[in-house]
Chains A and B, each alone.
Chain A
Amino acid sequence: MSSAIEVKHLCHQYGSRTIYRDLNFTVPTGTICGLLGKNGQGKTTLVNILMGFLKPTSGRCLVLGEDSCHLPPLTRARIGLLHEGHLAYEFLTIAQTERFFSGFYLGWEREIFFDLVDKMGLSPDHRICRMSCGQRSQVVLGVIMAQNPDLLILDDYSMGLDAGYRRLFLDVLKDFAALGDKTIFVTSHIVQDLEKLVDSMIFIDRGEIMQTELDSFMKSFHRYDFEDGGELSLDKDEVIRGFEQRGERISVYSFADQESVQFHLDSLGVHPEKMREKKMSLEDAFIGLMGKY
């Protein structure tokens, strides 16, 4: 299977601050990949590097087979890009936006744009600067979908959207993915949305990543709860990937099975009683893995 996105040994620094050190991952063609990370972990920076808006300190990114620093126009035409904050030319009206973007794409599908935009019931002469964030996101989505791209890169699409617009967005993305051979790379901080969308996920934390299939992650990552009267402090290690204490209830997150965790805790001098596995949503797992802060 070919790769829509290939990141090799990517390092990036802002001054003396290191954002990534030796990042490697691929997004195969035809899959939906979610990039998850807390705020400030460099999700937007990665999108900017992939789109040639930032020169990485070292390493290489291939997008649709081309070096991200020098994406040729023909390749850019195959990529639908949603900038953070649903960036749009706010001085244009809906109709002017369609007229502007349609001039650049051979396969421009006017109907798709107006299908999406007309749902809002706004006049075509409505200026974007007078729209709500949700309405603006719909216009931007219309522009991206009308391009009929092969690769969608969405930088935090859910930012500022209420549940209705988020659901609308997801529906469109799912329909798009169903067309086959379409790749979607999406970053978000709203984890539960991705649960219904992505095939694989990349967790990014302090410059390091973990890439995993959604299914296998949800199967292999566990949460074990037990109660303990005293103050407990556990450091992360090979077995314990996350630890949380609320009152007397303690949660331990791990890729290991219950027996191994029990044995490991025993060796650390913690002797949990009545430890049992608890079902998790993706969001619970995300927080378990990444922590709250």
Chain B
Amino acid sequence: MIYSIFYKEWIKARYFFLALVCLNTAVCLKIWVDIRQQLQAEHAEMIWYQAIHIQSFFYSDIRYFPLLSGICLAVVQFVPEILQKRLRLSLHLPVDRERLLAIFLALGLGLYTVLALLDTAAIWAVSRYYFPVEVAVSSLTTLLPWHYAGFVGYLGMSLILLEPAWSRRVFVFLVFSGFISLLFSGSGYCRLNPALPWLMLLAPLFFLTVFQGGSRFQQGEVT
């Protein structure tokens, strides 16, 4: 049963997922080529100084790509279900609605995690190759809020697509995008570190919000 749902979600998402893999890989490659070229053109110690003390880190190009990836995955998964209300086909299956939705989200978030790990591994590898380990470590917690933004973006987009009432869609958009804007606030590395545990604590809440959207979709509520 779980396999069947995964199977259908995978068929829906696979080409877009591959496209996102290519896109993220391309951005990582650009980051690598740029820093490589910069290190050849300038003194390495100056690049290090800028990265460590001026906080102009070389991987900032990737900043919004996790969010874009998360939103794209939600669109790819839920738009075909919303068009002609096809989700009713799945809702009629002998599976508990919440379980069904949880599996939908698990696959989407699973694919998103693969993309996030890909980005993280690529940035880590480039950092580690050209910089001391401390710089690579700092890249992890700098990337984390951006990846979290993609996670929230995925769930927010899913909820907006499922929700039938416009007033609620606008509210969800404002709440989710407001929160996401906080994740991109500030410049420099590791800026959000002291707030990250608190922000991460909210992750289960973001996940849970989608289920009311599923219920309201099924019952066709418009208020």
Contact = CB atoms under 8 A, between A and B. Distances in A.
Asked if A pairs with B, the answer is: yes
Interface of A: 48, 51-55, 69, 73-74, 76-77, 79, 81, 83, 85, 87-92, 96, 99-105
A89 B219 contact: no
B168 interface: no
B47 to A, nearest CB: 47
A105 B94 contact: yes
Contacts of A87: 84-86, 88-89
Given A87-B88, A103-B3, A105-B94, A92 B8 contact: yes
Contacts of B61: none
**Chain B contact surface mostly:** helix
**Chain A contact surface mostly:** loop
B216 to A, nearest CB: 10
Interface string B59-89: 0000000000000000000001000111011
Given A54-B219, A100-B4, A89 B94 contact: no
A88 B84 CA distance: 10
Interface string B1-26: 10111011001100000000000000
A141 B129 CA distance: 59
Contact of B220 (A53, A73, A92, A99): A53
A243 B102 CA distance: 56
Interface of B: 1, 3-5, 7-8, 11-12, 80, 84-86, 88-89, 91-96, 218-221
Given A83-B88, A85-B84, A89-B86, A104 B4 contact: yes
A89 B220 contact: no
A246 to B, nearest CB: 40
Q: Which of A54, A69, A89, A91 has the most CB of B within 10 A?
A: A89
19 contacts: A51-B88, A51-B92, A52-B219, A53-B218, A53-B220, A55-B220, A55-B221, A73-B96, A79-B92, A87-B84, A87-B86, A91-B11, A96-B8, A100-B4, A100-B8, A101-B4, A101-B93, A103-B7, A104-B93
A76 B11 contact: no
Given A51-B88, A53-B91, 13 more contacts: A52-B91, A53-B220, A54-B219, A55-B219, A69-B219, A87-B84, A87-B89, A88-B89, A89-B86, A99-B7, A100-B7, A103-B4, A104-B93
